Chains A and B, each alone.
Chain A
């Protein structure tokens, strides 16, 4: 148990589907992040939220839409994805956006067919 919980663990969706990934942290942290991990590539930062405010959007296509309703929850809404979007999507949190260590969830393995 890392204190960061992601659901679902696995997701298969068609290119015309709409789905959402959920992340919840139980650590009392103020910053939350979405990362993408593709095979043979380094983790790529997608979005950063601090106190529910988005502070970084790393040139991510609009088919990915984040939502942070409060400091404990983070969503990633997905629509009209492409097969190349298949990857492991990781959520992380840290004490604040400039703080040191980030704690990661287990990830959602997404397959777009």
Chain B
């Protein structure tokens, strides 16, 4: 069964304290892995797409990496405005006809000044 697990469930950091969020996945084949950011009361906002092991993407203080079993979202010197829930989703091979994404439960990040 296709599955996505994110850890930790919640993370509290001091401003400037770098850390990483983990997304472990189990799929028969990976078409793509996605990271989204969600602020309270809002819809998810697209951050990155990764397609193959070894691939990396960066945006401001965020860097996403991918291996054959997991993805990491590295946050370097975070600021309070980075506080949000970060969602990971995978698109299994064979789901191309439906665009179906399987989401993890998310990691809620709080960055204190």
Contact = CB atoms under 8 A, between A and B. Distances in A.
Contacts of B65: none
A102 B101 contact: yes
Contact of A42 (B32, B41, B46, B103): B103
Interface string A27-50: 000010100000011110100101
B97 interface: yes
B99 A42 contact: no
A102 B104 contact: no
Given A101-B34, A105-B43, A43 B87 contact: yes
A54 B100 CA distance: 13
Interface stretch (A11-19, A60-68, A71-79, A92-100): A92-100
A70 B33 CA distance: 29
B106 A31 contact: no
A104 B106 contact: no
Contacts of A102: 34, 46, 99, 101
A25 B104 CA distance: 25
Contacts of A94: 99
A2 interface: yes
A42 B4 contact: yes
B83 interface: no
A104 B45 contact: yes
A58 to B, nearest CB: 8
B97 to A, nearest CB: 6
Interface of B: 4, 32, 34, 36, 41-46, 49, 87, 89, 91, 95-106
